Each structure stands twice: as structure tokens, then as C-alpha cells.
Amino acid sequence: MVKKFRLGNPFNTDAVVEKIEPCGIDAFPLELSVGENVTIEFNLEKDDMVFGLGEAVRGINKRGWIYESWCTDETNHTEDKRALYGAHNFIVVSGKTKFGLFVDYPSKIEWDLGYSSPEKCVIKFENPDADLYYIDGESELDIVKQFRKIIGKSYIPPFWAFGYQQSCWGYSKQEDFVNVRESHRENNLPLDCIYMDIDYMEHFKDFTVNRELFPDFKAFVSEMKAHNIHLIPIIDAGVKKEKGYSVYDEGHENGYFCTDKDGNEFECGVWPGIVGLPDFLNSDARRWFGSKYKVLTDMGIDGFWNDMNEPALFYSKQGLNKAFDKLDKIRGKEVDIWGFFESKNAVLGIQNSMDDYKSFYHNADGKRVCHKDVHNIYGSFMTRAAGEYFEEEFGKENKLIFSRASYIGAHRTSGIWFGDNFSWWEHILLNLKMLPSVNMCGFLYSGADLGGFNNNASRDLMLRWLALGVFTPLMRNHRALGTRAQEAYQFGDCKDFADVLAVRYRLIPYLYSTFRNASENDEMIFKPLAFEYPDDKIAREVEDQLMLGSECMIAPVYEQNKTARNVYLPEDMTFVKLSGENVYKEELKKGWHYLNIELNEVPLFVKKGKNIPLAKPALNTAELERENLENLL
């Protein structure tokens, strides 16, 4: 049962869609105190586990670390970090007592989950205005399903968004895109989408297309479509401040940008230079921004990714001035080493600084609120602007849209990607661990940058990562400017890549129906083993395997120079290796197995009595035969 408790006068985040009457706060089942901060406390028993928090570093079991809900443009996803791009304030505590807790609060929250004191969870936030949801249920999954029910159905993208997708920050000219398309085709590598990063725009201005690079963009989009390739442009949150640029002018005239304390437009620097931040908390501004996507949908574009919407701020004018003042003070003077560090940090600290987040304001339909107090819903509301416009204009399931920053609620109109990871083996594992956690919070259409964004990918890393990506709804290979090329045809012989990618297309009908079922019935696509085998001590602790749908288990290889890995089977299963059109099958008993898996093979485990359909390989979803499927087993 879900119980709602209201503290003070919370800002409406729109996370929950079901109308629930609040109970008296005195009946809140956990220890609650309201002083300088609000704190919620409860004890953990020795074997208790804590699941949730969506997009975050570390394990599936979140116990033993301190996390923060604060949407952050964090490019180093290392385990010392507390926050990434999303704020997903839902946990499930699993032990003798099981319960779920959703803290619906749009500013910073600290989740000390047995870090300061191993037997205790302390959840802390500043303003005494929040809705708290306490959920009890029979099982972890039952609690998740009740939560999912109150936050509403998850977004379903168009079918073609389940195809393989190629991206790279650096594709700029038309030829780059044609080359990616042709190189995939020539090498028998399937492909459905190619992404356009910030370089397609005119001076990084949203809703513009650089005419020198794309003399007839509409014709180009339709030429790519004729080859069954969708182009997916990026949209950034900040709008370049430039008189004569219609998007800026309209926003300016209507007062649609965030303002500083004196009511002037807040100015900060991102890719286009100085930008205005659209006030997505204002419903008129939101509708206006959403309708701007029309510029591109009119040209045949049917998918977008929204970036920099934490919002990421490289600097603000005031931040820059402060840093210069500091430097001016020491110019010509003798500084000791501490003085040197202080000035260095004064410059480095201006990016994404709390001072800036405290210094601008929203007009949330007549209510003036400081950004800091609503920070975590900014990116969600940006993406909602797009998602709502698409649904109104084109109906459901017609446009692909996903976001970098998110708050629960955004799962109804869009997907998310996991931001700037590295081409590190450990990030394959991090990718895997995030999947069930984001599913718990409603985000189904999601995935990481396969092959890694930062740093250089090796051939084997790329193949192993793709073999996990085969199962993630968003299957996108993306990398940063200046890193080693990592398209499937960049590593010599493409046969292994073709084998792995073919498996994705063979599984699409299964993955798609699993996805639809998860959205329609509040199910998780990926579950921790602990959710299905709560009484199996080993299964509860396994964090490098996941349950997929209600039929399968996955266990990818995520270490270099390994031709095999240990896999734990919580029950008897059929071990399957898929590679191109080949299918290897072997019956295995419950327990540990050391299994050989080559670079061109995708391992999968099917539960007793279950089966899944397989399609014939295809080079894109348009050519994929969705009828006449064969059975895997």
C-alpha cells in the first residue's frame, strides 16, 4: 500500500500522477525530524539491502555509500562521486521488513545509506516542503510496481528506436553521415540511426541548421530516410543570446528566460557563448520551447536528444568576474603556494557552481522560485516540453526523445541516456548495474554510450560492450570529440561486429514486446537477481548478471583478455550463445559455471519452461520481418 505524507507546502514536481490523500505526518512510519534540515532515519539489519536511486555510481545494492540527488554535469563516473545527471529519489529497503520510500522534493537530498554509520540510513534535505511516499508490499518487485503505478506509464519510443544507432561528437559535414551509413552497409553491419551532435547547428544555436554544411537539409534528411536511416539531432538547454536570432528574440520578448535577483535575464556561458536559460517551469515558456522542435520535425526529423539540461553552466558572468577579482588581487604580488591553489580553484570552481544555481529564478506560473530550490526538475521539464509537444502534435510513440538530466516524471514522456562514461571495462559493469535501478524509477528507454564516451576504445572492449548493448532498449555507440574512432567498422575485420549486431536484430521482436509489457504493466525489464530469488543468498549478492523480462538472465563478459566468465545460475537454465545466425544451446544445472564466451558471441540464459522468439537478421528495423518468428529453443 502507498501512503503519502505531506511536509509543508511542496513544489509540484508532477512526478506522481495518481491522486492520493495525504495521511497525517505524525503517522509517518520512519523517524522524521524537522530542524535546520529535514532528516529521515531508519536502522538497517545486518543483511538488509537498499535498492534504487536510478542513475548513480556503485552497486545495485546501494548500501554503504553516501549519494546525493543533484543533477550534475559530471563527466567522471568514478566511485568517489555522489551524484550524476539524474535525481531519482526512490529506494526500496529489502530485509525482514521491506518498504519503498519516494522523497518528492526538487532540490538537493543527501542519502547516507549506511556510510557514516553502517547500521543506519539518514536522508537529509534542507527545506521542510516535500511529499513523502511510504510503500509496503509483499516483495521488492511488488513495491516497485506500486510505485510505478502512481508515477504513470513509461514512455514508449517508435519501433525503429530499437535498432542499432551510431553517434559521435565530431560528425559535422553531410559526407560524414553518408560515410557512416555506407560503411555500415558495405560491411553488412545493421544501422537505424545516426546522431547529429552540436556541430550541425549554426554557432550552437538551437533549432538552426548550418547551411554551409547542409545546403538542403530537408532533402538530406529524406535521402537518409530512403536508406532507412533516421538522423537524430541534439538540442541543448541554453539559447544563445543574440539579437536577430528568432528563438532568442521570442524568448526575450515574452520573458521566457530565467532571471537574476533584480529581474534581469540571467546570463551564463555554455557552447554558444552567453545564453538565456529557458524557464521550463513556466508552462507558457515550456509550450513555446516545445513548439520550436517543429523547425526540425518540418524537415523530416523524428528523434532528438536533449543535452546540458542539468543545467550545465560553464560559467556565469558574475562567477567569471569573481574569479578575475581574485586573480587581480594577487597580480604582481608574491603568492605562497596556498595563495596559488586558492586562485587556481577560484577559476576552476566557476563551472556548475552552487553560487550560480542560487542566483537565478523561475517564474513558475506566477510563483517566483529560486533555481536552487527546484534544480532537479529543470532538465525533466525541458524534455517534457518536447515530449508533450510531440504527443499533442503527432500522437504517442511517434518521436524518439531522450534526455541527459532527469527527475522521476520525465519517464512518462522520454527516455534517458547515462551521459559521459569512459572507454573503461569497469564502465561496462556500471552500465549493467544502472539498468535495474533506472527501471525501478520508471525509466525504461535508456542506455549508456556503448564503447565509452571519453577515452579510447579497444576492439575487444567495443565488442564486449555491444554484447551488453544488444539487450538495452537504447543501443547507441557514442564517443567524444578527439577520441579513437569506434564505429563497428573501425577495427579491421568486421565479421565479429556483424555477428554481435545481427543478434540485436534477431532479438528485437522479443525485446520490443518485453519493453511494451514493462511499460503497460509497470514491470521492470531488468531486475537484480535478488528480486527473483530473495531466499538464495548467492543470487542476492550477484551484481554482474541481471534478469531480463520474465524469461531470461544475462551475464556479459566485462573484463579484458577473458574468453570465459563465472556465471551463477539460481535455477536450472538453458545456456545460449547467439552469434550471427548461429545458436549454441546447453542445459545447465543450478550453481556456478565457468563458461567460454568468444568475442563474437552474445550469452543468454533461458529459464526452464520458457522460450523466446527469434527473427531473421536484418540490416535495419524497416526490413526486419516481425512475423514468422522461430523459437529459440
Q: Does residue 267 touch ligand MIG according to CB under 6 A? A: no
Q: What is the DSSP letter of 130?
A: E
- Rank residues 307 and 601 by Cβ distance to ligand MIG and give the closer one: 307
In whole angstroms, the minimum distance from the beta carbon of 401 to ligand MIG comes to 15
**Rama region for 504: left / alpha / beta (φ>0; ψ in -120 to 50; rest):** alpha
- Rank residues 107 and 414 by Cβ distance to ligand MIG and give the closer one: 414
Beta partners for residue 65, in sequence order: 113
- Rank residues 11 and 402 by Cβ distance to ligand MIG and give the closer one: 402
Please choose, from the candidates 606, 613, 612, the residue with its C-alpha nearest in 3D space to the C-alpha of residue 629.
613
Q: Which residues contact 395 (CB under 8 A, 6 or more apart)?
A: none
- Rank residues 112 and 307 by Cβ distance to ligand MIG and give the closer one: 307
- Rank residues 110 and 310 by Cβ distance to ligand MIG and give the closer one: 310
Beta partners for residue 103, in sequence order: 132
Phi/psi at 261 (5° precision)? -65, -25
d(CA 344, CA 365): 41
HSE-CB of 440 using CA atoms within 13 angstroms: 32
In whole angstroms, the minimum distance from the beta carbon of 244 to ligand MIG comes to 24
In whole angstroms, the minimum distance from the beta carbon of 307 to ligand MIG comes to 5
Print the binding letters for residues 405-434 with ligand MIG: x by CB under 6 A, - otherwise.
Answer: --------------xx--------------
Which amino acid is it at 277? L
In whole angstroms, the minimum distance from the beta carbon of 197 to ligand MIG comes to 5
Total residues interacting with ligand MIG, rule: CB under 6 A:
11
In whole angstroms, the minimum distance from the beta carbon of 468 to ligand MIG comes to 19
- Rank residues 170 and 339 by Cβ distance to ligand MIG and give the closer one: 170
In whole angstroms, the minimum distance from the beta carbon of 200 to ligand MIG comes to 11
- Rank residues 230 and 478 by Cβ distance to ligand MIG and give the closer one: 478
- Rank residues 236 and 601 by Cβ distance to ligand MIG and give the closer one: 236
- Applying CB under 6 A, which of residues 197, 265, 496, 522 lies at the interface with ligand MIG? 197
HEC readout, 494-532: CHHHHHHHHHHHHHHHHHHHHHHHHHHCCCCCEECHHHH
Looking up cell 543468454, which residue turns up? 604
Neighbours of 218 (CB within 10 A): 14
Q: Where are the beta strands (DSSP E) in 73-180?
A: 86-87, 90-94, 99-104, 109-113, 120-125, 130-136, 164-166
In whole angstroms, the minimum distance from the beta carbon of 166 to ligand MIG comes to 13
Q: Does residue 206 touch ligand MIG according to CB under 6 A? A: no
Of residues 562-621, those binding ligand MIG (CB under 6 A): none
Helix (H) or strand (E) holding 341: helix 337-348
> Residue 217, Cα to own-chain centre: how many angstroms?
29
- Rank residues 359 and 477 by Cβ distance to ligand MIG and give the closer one: 477
In whole angstroms, the minimum distance from the beta carbon of 275 to ligand MIG comes to 13
- Applying CB under 6 A, which of residues 65, 133, 169, 443 lies at the interface with ligand MIG? 169
Of residues 441-480, those binding ligand MIG (CB under 6 A): 453, 478
- Rank residues 147 and 453 by Cβ distance to ligand MIG and give the closer one: 453
- Rank residues 419 and 549 by Cβ distance to ligand MIG and give the closer one: 419
Q: Could you tell me where the DSSP H helices lie in 375-458? A: 378-394, 425-440
CA-based radius of gyration for the chain: 24
Please choose, from the candidates 261, 281, 276, the residue with its C-alpha nearest in 3D space to the C-alpha of residue 316.
276
| Helix, coil or strand: residue 413 | coil
d(CA 358, CA 206): 25
Print the binding letters for residues 477-516 with ligand MIG: x by CB under 6 A, - otherwise.
Answer: -x--------------------------------------
- Rank residues 473 and 617 by Cβ distance to ligand MIG and give the closer one: 473
d(CA 562, CA 599): 9
Q: What is the DSSP letter of 60?
A: S
In whole angstroms, the minimum distance from the beta carbon of 474 to ligand MIG comes to 12
Q: Does residue 307 touch ligand MIG according to CB under 6 A? A: yes
Of residues 46-65, those binding ligand MIG (CB under 6 A): none
In whole angstroms, the minimum distance from the beta carbon of 129 to ligand MIG comes to 31
d(CA 567, CA 542): 9
d(CA 37, CA 18): 28
d(CA 180, CA 168): 10
Contact 5, 23 (CB under 8 A): yes
In whole angstroms, the minimum distance from the beta carbon of 546 to ligand MIG comes to 24
Of residues 63-92, those binding ligand MIG (CB under 6 A): none
Looking up cell 525503429, which residue turns up? 160
In whole angstroms, the minimum distance from the beta carbon of 326 to ligand MIG comes to 25
- Applying CB under 6 A, which of residues 124, 292, 399, 404 lies at the interface with ligand MIG? 404
> Which residues contribute to the site for ligand MIG (CB under 6 A)?
169, 197-198, 234, 307-308, 404, 419-420, 453, 478
